Amino acid sequence: MSKNSKNWRPATQLVHGGTLRSQYGEMSEAIYLTQGFVYDTSEAAEARFKGESEGFIYARYGSPTNDMFEKRMCALEGAEEARATASGMAAISAALLCQLRAGDHIVAARALFGSCRWVVETLAPRYGIECTLVDGRDLANWEKAIQKNTKVFFLESPTNPTLEVVDIAGVAKLANQIGARVVVDNVFATPLYQKPLELGAHVVVYSATKHIDGQGRSLAGVILSDKEWVTEHLQDYYRHTGPAMSPFTAWTLIKGLETLAIRVKQQTENAAKIADFLAEQKEVARVIYPGRADHPQADIIKKQMTGGSTLVAFELKGGKEAAFKLQNALDVVTISNNLGDTRSIITHPATTTHKNLTDEARAELGIAPGIVRLSAGIEDAQDLIDDFAQALKAI
Ligand SMILES: *Cc1c(COP(=O)(O)O)cnc(C)c1O
Protein backbone atom coordinates (compact mmCIF):
# COMPACT_ATOMS: atom_id res chain seq x y z
CA MET A 1 0.00 0.00 0.00
CA SER A 2 1.30 3.42 -0.82
CA LYS A 3 0.97 6.38 1.53
CA ASN A 4 -0.12 9.40 -0.42
CA SER A 5 -2.27 12.39 0.30
CA LYS A 6 -2.17 15.51 -1.77
CA ASN A 7 -3.53 17.44 1.22
CA TRP A 8 -0.61 16.83 3.54
CA ARG A 9 1.60 19.76 4.37
CA PRO A 10 5.33 19.57 3.53
CA ALA A 11 6.57 18.27 6.91
CA THR A 12 4.12 15.36 6.70
CA GLN A 13 4.90 14.63 3.04
CA LEU A 14 8.59 14.49 3.95
CA VAL A 15 7.97 11.66 6.43
CA HIS A 16 5.19 9.69 4.70
CA GLY A 17 4.90 10.74 1.05
CA GLY A 18 5.22 7.88 -1.45
CA THR A 19 5.91 5.17 1.14
CA LEU A 20 5.40 1.75 -0.46
CA ARG A 21 5.22 -1.15 2.01
CA SER A 22 5.87 -4.74 1.00
CA GLN A 23 3.88 -7.72 2.31
CA TYR A 24 6.16 -7.70 5.39
CA GLY A 25 4.87 -4.37 6.63
CA GLU A 26 8.34 -2.98 7.30
CA MET A 27 8.45 0.33 9.22
CA SER A 28 11.39 1.87 7.39
CA GLU A 29 11.37 1.88 3.59
CA ALA A 30 12.96 -1.20 2.01
CA ILE A 31 16.04 -1.05 -0.21
CA TYR A 32 15.36 -3.00 -3.38
CA LEU A 33 18.91 -3.50 -4.62
CA THR A 34 17.99 -5.29 -7.80
CA GLN A 35 18.99 -4.65 -11.38
CA GLY A 36 15.82 -6.21 -12.79
CA PHE A 37 12.48 -7.93 -12.24
CA VAL A 38 11.01 -11.35 -13.07
CA TYR A 39 7.77 -12.32 -14.79
CA ASP A 40 5.56 -15.33 -14.04
CA THR A 41 4.97 -16.06 -17.71
CA SER A 42 6.14 -15.04 -21.17
CA GLU A 43 2.78 -13.38 -21.65
CA ALA A 44 3.32 -11.30 -18.50
CA ALA A 45 6.74 -10.17 -19.81
CA GLU A 46 5.21 -9.27 -23.16
CA ALA A 47 2.43 -7.26 -21.49
CA ARG A 48 4.92 -5.42 -19.25
CA PHE A 49 7.09 -4.46 -22.22
CA LYS A 50 4.04 -3.33 -24.17
CA GLY A 51 3.09 -1.09 -21.27
CA GLU A 52 -0.19 -2.97 -20.81
CA SER A 53 0.58 -4.06 -17.25
CA GLU A 54 1.91 -1.96 -14.38
CA GLY A 55 5.29 -2.82 -12.98
CA PHE A 56 9.03 -2.38 -13.22
CA ILE A 57 11.16 -3.68 -16.09
CA TYR A 58 14.75 -2.72 -15.49
CA ALA A 59 16.39 -0.56 -12.80
CA ARG A 60 17.80 1.83 -15.41
CA TYR A 61 14.14 2.76 -16.13
CA GLY A 62 12.86 2.74 -12.54
CA SER A 63 12.66 0.59 -9.40
CA PRO A 64 10.69 0.49 -6.12
CA THR A 65 13.05 2.36 -3.76
CA ASN A 66 13.71 5.01 -6.41
CA ASP A 67 9.96 5.24 -6.98
CA MET A 68 9.38 6.06 -3.30
CA PHE A 69 11.98 8.83 -3.46
CA GLU A 70 10.52 10.20 -6.70
CA LYS A 71 6.95 10.17 -5.34
CA ARG A 72 8.01 11.91 -2.11
CA MET A 73 9.79 14.59 -4.15
CA CYS A 74 6.71 15.03 -6.37
CA ALA A 75 4.49 15.47 -3.31
CA LEU A 76 6.84 18.08 -1.87
CA GLU A 77 7.35 19.98 -5.12
CA GLY A 78 3.79 19.77 -6.44
CA ALA A 79 5.04 17.99 -9.57
CA GLU A 80 3.36 15.15 -11.47
CA GLU A 81 6.50 13.20 -12.33
CA ALA A 82 10.11 12.89 -11.19
CA ARG A 83 13.20 11.00 -12.28
CA ALA A 84 16.05 10.29 -9.87
CA THR A 85 19.58 10.63 -11.22
CA ALA A 86 23.08 9.66 -10.14
CA SER A 87 24.17 13.28 -9.57
CA GLY A 88 22.87 16.82 -9.77
CA MET A 89 24.76 17.32 -13.01
CA ALA A 90 23.18 14.19 -14.52
CA ALA A 91 19.79 15.74 -13.69
CA ILE A 92 20.64 19.14 -15.15
CA SER A 93 22.33 17.92 -18.33
CA ALA A 94 19.45 15.48 -18.96
CA ALA A 95 16.80 18.14 -18.30
CA LEU A 96 18.42 20.43 -20.87
CA LEU A 97 19.63 18.03 -23.54
CA CYS A 98 16.50 15.84 -23.64
CA GLN A 99 14.45 18.75 -24.96
CA LEU A 100 17.00 20.49 -27.19
CA ARG A 101 18.35 19.71 -30.64
CA ALA A 102 20.75 21.24 -33.17
CA GLY A 103 19.55 24.68 -34.23
CA ASP A 104 17.92 25.49 -30.88
CA HIS A 105 18.94 28.35 -28.59
CA ILE A 106 19.18 28.59 -24.79
CA VAL A 107 19.14 31.78 -22.76
CA ALA A 108 20.81 31.22 -19.38
CA ALA A 109 21.70 33.41 -16.45
CA ARG A 110 25.49 33.81 -16.35
CA ALA A 111 25.56 33.21 -12.59
CA LEU A 112 25.40 29.41 -12.73
CA PHE A 113 27.04 26.56 -10.88
CA GLY A 114 30.41 25.98 -12.64
CA SER A 115 29.52 22.64 -14.27
CA CYS A 116 26.14 24.01 -15.44
CA ARG A 117 27.95 26.85 -17.12
CA TRP A 118 30.23 24.36 -18.88
CA VAL A 119 27.21 22.40 -20.13
CA VAL A 120 25.51 25.43 -21.71
CA GLU A 121 28.64 27.37 -22.75
CA THR A 122 30.95 24.58 -23.96
CA LEU A 123 29.06 21.30 -24.39
CA ALA A 124 25.79 22.45 -25.95
CA PRO A 125 27.46 24.35 -28.85
CA ARG A 126 29.32 21.15 -29.86
CA TYR A 127 25.91 19.73 -30.76
CA GLY A 128 24.73 22.85 -32.57
CA ILE A 129 22.80 24.32 -29.64
CA GLU A 130 23.46 28.04 -29.27
CA CYS A 131 23.59 29.73 -25.88
CA THR A 132 23.38 33.35 -24.72
CA LEU A 133 24.41 34.16 -21.15
CA VAL A 134 22.77 37.15 -19.50
CA ASP A 135 22.86 39.03 -16.22
CA GLY A 136 19.71 37.35 -14.94
CA ARG A 137 18.87 39.99 -12.33
CA ASP A 138 17.30 42.26 -14.93
CA LEU A 139 14.29 40.89 -16.86
CA ALA A 140 15.08 43.22 -19.77
CA ASN A 141 18.26 41.20 -20.43
CA TRP A 142 16.27 37.99 -20.80
CA GLU A 143 13.89 39.65 -23.23
CA LYS A 144 16.72 41.16 -25.30
CA ALA A 145 18.41 37.76 -25.66
CA ILE A 146 15.35 36.05 -27.17
CA GLN A 147 15.82 34.72 -30.73
CA LYS A 148 13.46 32.97 -33.14
CA ASN A 149 14.96 29.62 -32.11
CA THR A 150 14.95 30.17 -28.32
CA LYS A 151 13.58 27.01 -26.72
CA VAL A 152 14.84 27.01 -23.14
CA PHE A 153 15.51 29.54 -20.39
CA PHE A 154 17.81 28.20 -17.67
CA LEU A 155 18.53 29.76 -14.30
CA GLU A 156 19.56 29.20 -10.73
CA SER A 157 18.10 31.31 -7.90
CA PRO A 158 19.51 32.22 -5.44
CA THR A 159 22.84 31.86 -7.20
CA ASN A 160 26.09 30.33 -6.08
CA PRO A 161 28.00 31.94 -4.39
CA THR A 162 26.77 35.54 -4.31
CA LEU A 163 23.08 34.75 -3.64
CA GLU A 164 21.66 36.92 -6.42
CA VAL A 165 18.06 36.17 -7.32
CA VAL A 166 16.15 35.96 -10.59
CA ASP A 167 12.47 36.87 -10.92
CA ILE A 168 11.23 33.38 -11.85
CA ALA A 169 7.62 34.41 -12.58
CA GLY A 170 8.93 37.22 -14.82
CA VAL A 171 11.16 34.86 -16.82
CA ALA A 172 8.32 32.32 -17.07
CA LYS A 173 6.02 34.97 -18.50
CA LEU A 174 8.56 35.81 -21.21
CA ALA A 175 9.06 32.12 -21.98
CA ASN A 176 5.34 31.47 -22.28
CA GLN A 177 4.99 34.32 -24.78
CA ILE A 178 7.35 32.53 -27.17
CA GLY A 179 6.51 28.92 -26.28
CA ALA A 180 9.87 28.28 -24.59
CA ARG A 181 10.35 26.38 -21.32
CA VAL A 182 11.99 27.47 -18.07
CA VAL A 183 14.31 25.10 -16.25
CA VAL A 184 15.16 26.12 -12.67
CA ASP A 185 18.08 24.77 -10.63
CA ASN A 186 16.45 25.15 -7.21
CA VAL A 187 19.28 23.82 -5.03
CA PHE A 188 19.99 26.97 -3.04
CA ALA A 189 16.33 27.70 -2.25
CA THR A 190 15.49 24.07 -1.35
CA PRO A 191 12.02 22.68 -2.17
CA LEU A 192 10.79 24.21 1.09
CA TYR A 193 11.44 27.88 0.35
CA GLN A 194 10.70 28.20 -3.36
CA LYS A 195 8.25 26.43 -5.69
CA PRO A 196 9.35 27.20 -9.26
CA LEU A 197 6.48 25.20 -10.83
CA GLU A 198 3.95 27.37 -8.99
CA LEU A 199 5.83 30.45 -10.24
CA GLY A 200 5.36 29.26 -13.83
CA ALA A 201 8.58 27.33 -14.49
CA HIS A 202 8.24 24.07 -16.42
CA VAL A 203 11.05 21.92 -15.04
CA VAL A 204 12.82 21.91 -11.64
CA VAL A 205 16.16 20.23 -11.03
CA TYR A 206 18.08 19.51 -7.85
CA SER A 207 21.45 18.31 -6.82
CA ALA A 208 20.12 16.04 -4.06
CA THR A 209 23.73 15.82 -2.89
CA LYS A 210 23.03 19.05 -1.04
CA HIS A 211 20.14 19.61 1.44
CA ILE A 212 18.08 16.57 0.36
CA ASP A 213 20.73 14.11 1.53
CA GLY A 214 22.17 16.82 3.75
CA GLN A 215 24.54 14.51 5.57
CA GLY A 216 27.44 14.29 3.14
CA ARG A 217 26.76 10.67 2.15
CA SER A 218 25.40 10.68 -1.37
CA LEU A 219 25.88 12.12 -4.81
CA ALA A 220 22.44 12.44 -6.39
CA GLY A 221 19.97 14.50 -8.40
CA VAL A 222 16.32 14.69 -9.41
CA ILE A 223 14.28 16.18 -12.27
CA LEU A 224 10.63 17.21 -11.71
CA SER A 225 7.96 18.33 -14.15
CA ASP A 226 4.51 17.52 -15.50
CA LYS A 227 3.55 14.18 -17.02
CA GLU A 228 3.35 15.53 -20.54
CA TRP A 229 6.90 16.96 -20.56
CA VAL A 230 8.36 13.82 -18.97
CA THR A 231 6.61 11.55 -21.46
CA GLU A 232 7.44 13.65 -24.48
CA HIS A 233 11.01 14.69 -23.68
CA LEU A 234 12.63 13.02 -20.70
CA GLN A 235 11.38 9.46 -20.60
CA ASP A 236 13.24 7.97 -23.57
CA TYR A 237 16.35 10.07 -22.94
CA TYR A 238 16.45 8.88 -19.32
CA ARG A 239 15.87 5.22 -20.19
CA HIS A 240 18.40 5.03 -22.98
CA THR A 241 21.28 7.25 -21.82
CA GLY A 242 21.38 5.80 -18.30
CA PRO A 243 21.73 8.56 -15.67
CA ALA A 244 19.74 6.38 -13.19
CA MET A 245 20.34 6.48 -9.44
CA SER A 246 21.35 3.45 -7.38
CA PRO A 247 18.48 2.20 -5.15
CA PHE A 248 20.85 2.42 -2.20
CA THR A 249 21.31 6.14 -2.85
CA ALA A 250 17.53 6.56 -3.21
CA TRP A 251 17.17 5.03 0.25
CA THR A 252 19.68 7.45 1.82
CA LEU A 253 17.70 10.29 0.25
CA ILE A 254 14.39 8.98 1.60
CA LYS A 255 16.03 9.06 5.04
CA GLY A 256 17.34 12.54 4.25
CA LEU A 257 13.90 13.83 3.27
CA GLU A 258 12.44 12.66 6.59
CA THR A 259 14.48 15.30 8.42
CA LEU A 260 14.75 17.92 5.64
CA ALA A 261 12.29 20.39 7.17
CA ILE A 262 13.85 20.43 10.65
CA ARG A 263 17.40 20.55 9.28
CA VAL A 264 16.67 23.43 6.90
CA LYS A 265 14.84 25.33 9.65
CA GLN A 266 17.81 25.03 12.04
CA GLN A 267 20.33 25.83 9.28
CA THR A 268 18.35 28.92 8.27
CA GLU A 269 18.12 30.17 11.87
CA ASN A 270 21.87 29.67 12.25
CA ALA A 271 22.63 31.35 8.91
CA ALA A 272 20.49 34.37 9.83
CA LYS A 273 22.21 34.78 13.22
CA ILE A 274 25.69 34.46 11.71
CA ALA A 275 24.79 36.92 8.92
CA ASP A 276 23.67 39.48 11.51
CA PHE A 277 26.83 38.91 13.56
CA LEU A 278 29.15 39.23 10.53
CA ALA A 279 27.42 42.42 9.35
CA GLU A 280 28.60 44.11 12.58
CA GLN A 281 32.27 43.12 12.27
CA LYS A 282 34.89 45.65 11.17
CA GLU A 283 36.80 43.09 9.05
CA VAL A 284 33.69 42.45 6.93
CA ALA A 285 32.98 44.74 3.95
CA ARG A 286 29.52 43.36 3.15
CA VAL A 287 27.17 40.50 3.95
CA ILE A 288 24.82 39.01 1.35
CA TYR A 289 21.96 37.07 2.90
CA PRO A 290 18.53 36.58 1.29
CA GLY A 291 16.84 36.80 4.71
CA ARG A 292 18.15 40.32 5.43
CA ALA A 293 16.33 43.51 4.53
CA ASP A 294 19.58 44.91 3.03
CA HIS A 295 19.76 42.23 0.30
CA PRO A 296 19.84 44.21 -3.00
CA GLN A 297 16.83 42.26 -4.33
CA ALA A 298 14.80 41.97 -1.12
CA ASP A 299 11.56 42.78 -3.02
CA ILE A 300 11.87 39.79 -5.38
CA ILE A 301 12.86 37.51 -2.50
CA LYS A 302 9.71 38.52 -0.67
CA LYS A 303 7.64 37.78 -3.77
CA GLN A 304 8.95 34.30 -4.54
CA MET A 305 10.61 32.78 -1.45
CA THR A 306 9.08 31.77 1.86
CA GLY A 307 12.34 31.58 3.79
CA GLY A 308 15.81 33.13 3.84
CA SER A 309 18.63 30.74 3.04
CA THR A 310 20.92 28.24 4.68
CA LEU A 311 23.81 30.04 2.96
CA VAL A 312 25.53 33.33 3.67
CA ALA A 313 28.08 35.07 1.46
CA PHE A 314 30.33 37.79 2.82
CA GLU A 315 33.30 39.82 1.68
CA LEU A 316 36.33 40.45 3.83
CA LYS A 317 38.05 43.81 3.50
CA GLY A 318 41.45 42.08 3.53
CA GLY A 319 40.80 40.13 0.28
CA LYS A 320 42.15 36.62 -0.32
CA GLU A 321 44.73 36.80 2.48
CA ALA A 322 42.09 37.63 5.07
CA ALA A 323 39.73 34.99 3.68
CA PHE A 324 42.40 32.28 3.93
CA LYS A 325 43.36 33.36 7.48
CA LEU A 326 39.74 33.28 8.60
CA GLN A 327 39.07 29.86 7.06
CA ASN A 328 42.26 28.39 8.52
CA ALA A 329 41.46 29.69 12.00
CA LEU A 330 37.90 28.31 12.13
CA ASP A 331 37.54 25.28 14.37
CA VAL A 332 33.89 24.11 14.31
CA VAL A 333 33.37 25.23 10.71
CA THR A 334 35.04 22.97 8.12
CA ILE A 335 36.66 23.99 4.82
CA SER A 336 34.92 22.09 2.01
CA ASN A 337 32.95 22.79 -1.15
CA ASN A 338 29.75 20.90 -0.29
CA LEU A 339 26.70 22.77 1.00
CA GLY A 340 23.38 22.05 2.70
CA ASP A 341 25.13 19.67 5.11
CA THR A 342 24.40 19.22 8.83
CA ARG A 343 27.98 20.46 9.39
CA SER A 344 28.84 24.10 8.80
CA ILE A 345 31.07 24.41 5.75
CA ILE A 346 33.10 27.34 4.43
CA THR A 347 34.43 27.88 0.90
CA HIS A 348 36.58 30.47 -0.84
CA PRO A 349 34.89 30.47 -4.30
CA ALA A 350 37.57 32.42 -6.21
CA THR A 351 40.21 29.71 -5.58
CA THR A 352 37.96 26.63 -5.58
CA THR A 353 34.46 26.33 -7.05
CA HIS A 354 34.89 29.30 -9.40
CA LYS A 355 38.62 29.08 -10.14
CA ASN A 356 37.99 28.00 -13.75
CA LEU A 357 36.27 31.27 -14.67
CA THR A 358 38.31 34.08 -16.19
CA ASP A 359 39.13 37.03 -13.89
CA GLU A 360 36.67 39.06 -15.95
CA ALA A 361 33.83 36.54 -15.56
CA ARG A 362 34.46 36.35 -11.81
CA ALA A 363 34.37 40.14 -11.55
CA GLU A 364 31.06 40.21 -13.48
CA LEU A 365 29.58 37.83 -10.94
CA GLY A 366 30.87 39.82 -7.98
CA ILE A 367 33.18 37.00 -6.85
CA ALA A 368 35.87 39.23 -5.39
CA PRO A 369 39.00 37.69 -3.82
CA GLY A 370 37.60 38.51 -0.37
CA ILE A 371 34.27 36.68 -0.90
CA VAL A 372 33.64 33.68 1.33
CA ARG A 373 30.58 31.39 1.26
CA LEU A 374 29.23 29.78 4.41
CA SER A 375 26.78 26.88 4.41
CA ALA A 376 25.32 26.87 7.92
CA GLY A 377 24.96 23.50 9.62
CA ILE A 378 22.70 22.42 12.47
CA GLU A 379 25.22 23.01 15.28
CA ASP A 380 24.43 25.38 18.17
CA ALA A 381 24.33 28.91 16.73
CA GLN A 382 26.35 30.37 19.61
CA ASP A 383 29.20 27.90 19.05
CA LEU A 384 29.31 28.98 15.41
CA ILE A 385 29.29 32.67 16.30
CA ASP A 386 32.02 32.10 18.91
CA ASP A 387 34.03 30.28 16.24
CA PHE A 388 33.75 33.22 13.82
CA ALA A 389 34.57 35.69 16.61
CA GLN A 390 37.83 33.88 17.43
CA ALA A 391 38.74 33.30 13.76
CA LEU A 392 38.22 36.96 12.81
CA LYS A 393 40.93 37.83 15.35
CA ALA A 394 43.41 35.82 13.24
CA ILE A 395 43.03 38.43 10.47
C1 LIG B 1 26.13 21.03 -6.42
C2 LIG B 1 25.33 21.74 -7.41
C3 LIG B 1 25.11 21.21 -8.68
C4 LIG B 1 25.73 19.92 -9.13
O5 LIG B 1 25.31 18.81 -8.39
P6 LIG B 1 26.16 17.47 -8.20
O7 LIG B 1 25.30 16.64 -7.32
O8 LIG B 1 27.46 17.86 -7.59
O9 LIG B 1 26.35 16.86 -9.54
C10 LIG B 1 24.33 21.94 -9.55
N11 LIG B 1 23.80 23.13 -9.21
C12 LIG B 1 23.99 23.67 -7.99
C13 LIG B 1 23.38 24.98 -7.67
C14 LIG B 1 24.75 23.00 -7.04
O15 LIG B 1 24.95 23.55 -5.84
Q: Tell whether 252 and 284 lie within a shared domain.
A: no
Q: Tell whether 105 and 169 lie within a shared domain.
A: yes
Contact 163, 189 (CB under 8 A): no
Q: How many Cβ atoms sit within 10 Å of the Cβ of residue 64?
A: 18
Distances in whole angstroms, Cα of residue 206 to Cα of each of 29, 191, 394: 22, 9, 37
Residue finishing a domain among 233, 258, 283: 258
Identify which of 93, 209, 222 to mutate to test ligand 1's pocket (most ligand atoms within 8 A of the CB): 209
pTM as predicted: 0.97
- For 82-99, the pLDDT digits (tens) are 999 999 999 999 999 999
Residue nearest to atom 2 of ligand 1 (CA): 207
Which CATH number does the domain housing residue 224 bear?
3.40.640.10
Q: Within a domain: residue 3?
A: no
Residue finishing a domain among 202, 230, 258: 258
Q: Which atom of ligand 1 is nearest to the CA of 159?
A: 13
Residue nearest to atom 4 of ligand 1 (CA): 88
Q: Tell whether 101 and 144 lie within a shared domain.
A: yes
Q: Which atom of ligand 1 is nearest to the CA of 160?
A: 13
Q: Tell whether 113 and 169 lie within a shared domain.
A: yes
- Give the Å distance between the CA of 119 and the centre of ligand 1: 12
Cα gap 150→338, rounded to integer Å: 33
- Give the Å distance between the CA of 212 and the centre of ligand 1: 12
Give me the amino acid identity at 160: N
**Backbone φ and ψ of 212, nearest 5°:** -65, -50
Q: Tell whether 155 and 253 lie within a shared domain.
A: yes
Bridge partners (DSSP) of residue 185 are 156, 205
Q: Which atom of ligand 1 is nearest to the CA of 90?
A: 9
Identify which of 186, 210, 222, 347 to mutate to test ligand 1's pocket (most ligand atoms within 8 A of the CB): 210
Q: Tell whether 219 and 351 lie within a shared domain.
A: no
Bridge partners (DSSP) of residue 132 are 107
Q: Within a domain: residue 5?
A: no
Instruction: Please state whether beta strands 334-335 and 311-316 pair in parallel, antiparallel, or not at all (unpaired).
Output: unpaired
Q: Tell whether 231 and 283 lie within a shared domain.
A: no
Q: Within a domain: residue 4?
A: no
Cα gap 319→317, rounded to integer Å: 6
| The Cα angle at residue 324 between residues 321 and 329, in degrees rounded to 5 | 125
Q: Within a domain: residue 145?
A: yes
Q: Which atom of ligand 1 is nearest to the CA of 339?
A: 15
- Give the Å distance between the CA of 254 and the centre of ligand 1: 19
Residue nearest to atom 11 of ligand 1 (CA): 113
Residue finishing a domain among 258, 275, 306: 258
Q: Tell whether 223 and 115 lie within a shared domain.
A: yes
Which CATH number does the domain housing residue 354 bear?
3.90.1150.10
Helices 64-77 & 247-258 angle (0-180, nearest 10): 40
Contact 192, 261 (CB under 8 A): yes
Interacting residues of 86 by C-beta distance below 8 A, sequence separation 6+: 219, 220, 221, 243, 244, 245, 246, 249
Q: Tell whether 237 and 296 lie within a shared domain.
A: no
Query: Which residues span the domain enclosing 183?
Result: 10-258
pLDDT one digit per residue (tens) for the chain, 395 residues = 466 677 899 999 999 999 999 999 999 999 999 999 999 999 999 999 999 999 999 999 999 999 999 999 999 999 999 999 999 999 999 999 999 999 999 999 999 998 999 999 999 999 999 999 999 999 999 999 999 999 999 999 999 999 999 999 999 999 999 999 999 999 999 999 999 999 999 999 999 999 999 999 999 999 999 999 999 999 999 999 999 999 999 999 999 999 999 999 999 999 999 999 999 999 999 999 999 999 999 999 999 999 999 999 999 999 999 999 999 999 999 999 999 999 999 999 999 999 988 999 999 999 999 999 999 999 999 999 999 999 999 99
Contact 212, 257 (CB under 8 A): yes
Cα gap 268→212, rounded to integer Å: 15
Q: Which atom of ligand 1 is nearest to the CA of 187?
A: 13
Q: Tell whether 28 and 130 lie within a shared domain.
A: yes
Q: Tell whether 53 and 80 lie within a shared domain.
A: yes
Provide residues with CB under 6 Å of ligand 1: 87-89, 92, 113, 115-116, 156, 160, 185, 187-188, 207, 209-210, 219, 221
Q: Tell whether 268 and 134 lie within a shared domain.
A: no
- For 38-85, the pLDDT digits (tens) are 999 999 999 999 999 999 999 999 999 999 999 999 999 999 999 999
What is the domain count for the chain?
A: 2
Interacting residues of 245 by C-beta distance below 8 A, sequence separation 6+: 66, 69, 84, 85, 86, 220, 221
Cα gap 310→224, rounded to integer Å: 22
